[in-house]
Amino acid sequence: MIKDKKSFYIIKTIILTLLFFAALYLENAQQPRLAILISIFLVLIINSSLKYFISSKKIYFISFILDSVLIFLLEQNFRLLINYFLHSFYIITLIEASITLSVGKGIIACIVASAFSMIKFIYLVYFKFNISSFSQFIFFMLVNILIMIIAIFAQYNKTEKEKKDILYRELLDTHKKLKEYTEEVRRLSIIEEKNRIARDIHDNLGHNMTSLIMQLQMTEHYLETDASKSMELLDSSIKTAKDSLKGIREVVETLRGKSLLPDKVIHVLVDEFAEKTGTEIKLNVTGKIIQDYDMHTALYHILQEGMTNAVRHGKAANIWIELNYEDDNVKFSIRDNGTGADIINEGFGIKGIKERVKALNGIVEFKSENGFTVNGFLSS
């Protein structure tokens, strides 16, 4: 930018110098007036050059006013009433002020320069009023106005372009941030999906593996005393293993977006678990069942985990399940007669229940009194 300013200053200085010497040639000034003219011109050149090294906008603006004053002083010391070579200085000042200053200050500087430039023409009309002098007055006034309009319009376009450039950069920055945000959402969605897959696999496999282990233990117990009973339990174990495989497939189907858990599947879940583990389970459902896939999916896995924990950790023989549908929510209670727990440790299963409940704007609590109880509700 400094390099551009220096180039502009050099070109401007050359043009002003050529115009000044052309004006002197017509003037044919002698000492001491020639020394005065050269001195004023040098001051004008110095003022013009210093403004490109001024950081203060106010002083920069004042330097243009000073240019107009110095040009007027030059004109006052010339013999000719109007020296058109010298008068061109005003035009250069008009153009420079309009381009380099802000629109408001540029207009003020142009008005000041135009006012000084028209003083000589006012003298001309006053002392020599005729069509020619009046035409010159009107012509140069219109020239000044036209130069101001063109230069200010150019400055306005430059300002608008700078605003558009700033807006464009802001849009690019916003786009970059939005892209980063989208990537972060995608990353978090992947993590959430991984957690959901882990919960589903844990709930299905954990449930069935508990049943399978208990069946195999009972098979081992009856192996020597009751071969037919052990074979029956072995067949049941094979069926449980197949159900585990089916459960994994169900998780995959769920991830593909297919509906897997109709309303009655909860009854099937409870009946199969009771049959496989030998646990007596009482299921009581009240209210109008809500047709909400996400709610039933969560409820299915919560019941599955609750029953599995009751048998695996609490060694329960009886489980009571209450489901109460009201409006857009369902209250659930899973109670057993197991050993309970002095300290409730939040394993993967309990954490999974909490996450599912939280995802559906619900609340859940765990109690260990005369067995173990899970109470909570889900909202669709």
Tokens of 153: 């319009």
Give how far Cα 141 sits from Cα of 82, 157, 257, 354, 362, Å: 14, 24, 79, 84, 81
| Overall size of the chain counted in residues | 380
Confidence bin at 2 (pLDDT 50/70/90):
very low
* The pLDDT of residue 253: 57
* The pLDDT of residue 258: 45
Overall average pLDDT of the 184-203 stretch: 67
- Strand-pair partners of 286: 324
* The pLDDT of residue 331: 94
Q: Which residues contact 27 (CB under 8 A, 6 or more apart)?
A: 37, 78, 79, 80, 83
* The pLDDT of residue 364: 94
Q: Express each pLDDT in 315-354 by its tens digit.
A: 899 999 999 998 889 999 999 999 888 788 887 778 889 9
**Whether pLDDT at 205 is above 70:** no
Element (H, E) at 249: helix 227-255
Q: Is 361 left (phi over 0), alpha (psi -120 to 50) or beta?
A: left
Element (H, E) at 352: helix 348-359
Q: Express each pLDDT in 41-64 by its tens digit.
A: 999 888 888 877 777 888 888 888
**pTM to 2 decimal places:** 0.42
Give how far Cα 289 sits from Cα of 52, 250, 293, 318, 323, Å: 81, 22, 11, 25, 10
Domains of the chain: 2-129 (no CATH), 261-380 (3.30.565.10)
**Whether pLDDT at 254 is above 60:** no
* The pLDDT of residue 196: 65
